[in-house]
């Protein structure tokens, strides 16, 4: 059962042709299949959700892409994807008559249907971790929002009582699905947010629904995003942590004002970002230790900011959207005609400790991580040219410190630290070494 509000958005995107500049390289093209969502797990593994029941995956950074049609789903369009790792992923989508959620644990070789409905359609899916996830749905015939949660990896899905979810305004519906962005986003261990939209014009405000208890109870907060045009509303959201988040107005209404909104208090209040005047299409986060880098698609090309949206820089004039970045140097998007997966090949979009490696003359040298990649254990070699307090930490691609390996004062000379990171999931990490005002970093790949 496909939301009638989504059809004009999808058709609108399909009107665009794409001429790709040097910053983007086409890696996968299939002119008969629209590609609706991407999720980069790490610099090698990327999942894509597409039309006609297709799921597309690469495990070599896009050198090869393998399409798979989920049995019995060839009439469905998949517009939402939550990828846990190279083997485990969830996809959701539907047709005019039905919506479904599938899960794979073997890299897409087989799929299990976990959710099916002809009364409500899945808007978006998200997971806090490998076990705890959430589904946002549209109870189309009732004019309500639905929420389902799981704590066992989707074996069971439990519906949140309707009285715990604020009612929609007349004409309001729960977002434009994930086709182009992330309608539902999560952060921390229990926070979740999604935005609303209107399909027939309205003077009521665009709102953000907010939960701090894994989707069990919700509040709704007004935003000042523009309500111009017949179709307007939040098309994608990004939260860098449980406090700092961004929302993009992804409708088709005229005008470019009030395109992005920002919160610094977990979504309790939202303020229009006057620093960005273009009409946004989709919004995403580029993982970096400083957690400040955003990328936004516009019809005139993508822009990025590495200072939390204070300033913006144009990347290219290509209409590229549906971004997913695994690191500042590994990112993918979809072409404006929706038929190509594009790999970002331009300069790193982040100036952070991911890229600030040591140079001659500074008093710290992070010499080597061995083995790299590693399954769990290894050693880190570094040297100091003077006595100094040292902090050696491991940072995830979302910018969170996930392990502190060393924190003490050391003398000048060579040093070796052993580590065991068996508790961390597979993916790309940053080892950051800090001594006073000096910082060095090297990437570490954990492969399970």
pLDDT one-digit tens code per residue, 238-272: 998 889 999 988 765 555 455 889 999 999 999 98
- 10 Å Cβ neighbour count for 270? 24
Same domain for 330 and 371? Answer: no
How far apart, in whole angstroms, are the C-alpha atoms of residue 341 and residue 50? 11
Q: What is the pLDDT of residue 443?
A: 82
Residue that is last in its domain, among 309, 344, 379: 344
Q: Total structural domains in the chain?
A: 2
Q: Is the peptide bond before 7 cis (omega within 30 degrees of 0)?
A: no
Q: What is the pLDDT of residue 413?
A: 82
Same domain for 298 and 424? Answer: no
CA angle, residues 188, 443, 316, in degrees to nearest 5: 80
Same domain for 140 and 287? Answer: yes
Same domain for 70 and 110? Answer: yes
Q: Residue 30's domain spans which residues?
A: 6-344
Residue that is last in its domain, among 291, 312, 344: 344
Same domain for 222 and 167? Answer: yes
Q: What is the pLDDT of residue 360?
A: 34
Within-domain flag for 250: yes
SS3 state at 443: strand
Residue that is last in its domain, among 315, 344, 373: 344
Query: Would you give the end-to-end CA distance of the chain in angstroms?
Result: 38
Within-domain flag for 354: no
Asked if 123 and 134 count as a contact pair (C-beta separation under 8 A), the reply is: no
Within-domain flag for 98: yes
SS3 state at 105: coil
Within-domain flag for 358: no
Within-domain flag for 178: yes
Q: What is the pLDDT of residue 291?
A: 65
Asked if 45 and 51 count as a contact pair (C-beta separation under 8 A), the reply is: no
CA angle, residues 77, 175, 293, in degrees to nearest 5: 95
Helix count and strand count (H, E) for the chain: 1, 37
Within-domain flag for 352: no
- 10 Å Cβ neighbour count for 176? 32
Within-domain flag for 415: yes
Same domain for 235 and 321? Answer: yes
Same domain for 268 and 304? Answer: yes
Same domain for 139 and 38? Answer: yes
Same domain for 383 and 318? Answer: no
Asked if 358 and 366 count as a contact pair (C-beta separation under 8 A), the reply is: yes
Q: What is the pLDDT of residue 363?
A: 53
Same domain for 242 and 377? Answer: no
How far apart, in whole angstroms, are the C-alpha atoms of residue 315 and residue 447? 32
Identify the DSSP state of 70. Answer: P
Beta-strand pair 388-395/377-384: unpaired
DSSP element (H, E) containing 7: helix 6-14
Within-domain flag for 55: yes
The answer for residues whose C-beta is within 8 angstroms of residue 359's C-beta and 6 or more apart is none
pLDDT one-digit tens code per residue, 125-158: 999 999 999 999 999 788 899 999 999 999 999 9
Q: What is the pLDDT of residue 51?
A: 92
Q: What is the pLDDT of residue 444?
A: 86
How far apart, in whole angstroms, are the C-alpha atoms of residue 233 and residue 175? 7
SS3 state at 352: coil
Residue ranges in the chain modelled with pLDDT below 70: 1-22, 30-31, 179-181, 201, 229-230, 251-258, 288-291, 350-365, 367, 436-438
How far apart, in whole angstroms, are the C-alpha atoms of residue 214 and residue 149? 8
Q: What is the 3-state secondary structure (H, E, C) of 150-173?
A: ECCCCCCCEECCHHHCCCCCCCEE
Same domain for 284 and 404? Answer: no
Same domain for 304 and 380? Answer: no
Both tokens of 47, joined, read 């999942």
CATH of the domain at 160: 2.130.10.10
The rounded Cα 174 to chain-centroid distance in angstroms is 18
């Amino acid at each position: 059962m496909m939301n009638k509000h989504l059809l004009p958005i999808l058709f609108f995107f399909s009107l665009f042709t794409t001429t790709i500049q040097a910053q983007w390289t086409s890696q996968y093209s299939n002119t008969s299949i629209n590609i609706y969502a991407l999720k980069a797990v790490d610099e090698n593994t990327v999942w894509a959700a597409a039309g006609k029941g297709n799921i597309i995956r690469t495990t070599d950074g896009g050198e090869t892409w393998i399409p798979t049609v989920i049995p019995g789903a060839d009439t469905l369009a998949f517009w939402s994807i939550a990828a846990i790792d190279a083997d485990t992923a969830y996809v959701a989508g539907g047709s005019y008559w039905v919506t479904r959620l599938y899960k794979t644990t073997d890299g897409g070789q087989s799929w299990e249907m976990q959710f099916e409905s002809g009364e409500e359609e899945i808007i978006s899916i998200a997971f806090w971790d490998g076990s705890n996830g959430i589904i946002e749905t549209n109870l189309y015939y009732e004019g309500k929002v639905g929420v389902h949660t799981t704590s066992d990896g989707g074996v069971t899905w439990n519906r949140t009582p309707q009285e715990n979810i604020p009612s929609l305004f007349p004409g309001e519906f729960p977002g434009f699905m994930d086709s182009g962005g992330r309608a539902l986003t999560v952060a921390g261990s229990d926070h979740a947010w999604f935005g609303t939209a209107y399909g027939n014009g309205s003077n009521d405000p665009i709102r953000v629904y907010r939960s701090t208890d894994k989707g069990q109870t919700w509040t709704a907060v007004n935003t000042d995003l523009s309500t111009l045009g017949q179709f307007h509303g939040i098309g994608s959201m990004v939260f860098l942590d449980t406090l700092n988040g961004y929302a993009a107005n992804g409708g088709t209404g005229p005008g470019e004002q009030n395109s992005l909104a920002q919160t610094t208090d977990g979504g309790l209040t939202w303020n229009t970002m006057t620093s960005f005047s273009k009409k946004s299409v989709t919004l995403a986060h580029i993982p970096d230790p400083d957690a400040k880098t955003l990328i936004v698609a516009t019809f005139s090309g993508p822009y990025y900011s590495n200072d939390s949206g204070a300033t913006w820089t144009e990347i290219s004039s290509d209409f590229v959207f549906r971004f997913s970045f695994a690191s500042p140097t590994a990112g993918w998007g979809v072409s404006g005609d929706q038929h190509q997966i594009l790999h970002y090949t331009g300069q790193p979009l982040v100036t952070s400790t991911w890229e600030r490696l040591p140079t001659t003359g500074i008093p710290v040298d992070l010499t080597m991580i061995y083995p790299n990649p590693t399954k769990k254990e290894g050693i880190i070699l570094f040297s100091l040219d003077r006595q100094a307090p040292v902090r050696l930490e491991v940072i995830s691609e979302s910018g969170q410190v996930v392990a502190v390996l060393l924190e003490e004062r050391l003398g000048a000379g060579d040093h070796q630290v052993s580590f065991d990171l068996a508790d961390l999931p597979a993916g790309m990490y940053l080892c950051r070494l800090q001594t006073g005002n000096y910082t060095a970093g090297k990437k570490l790949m954990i492969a399970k």
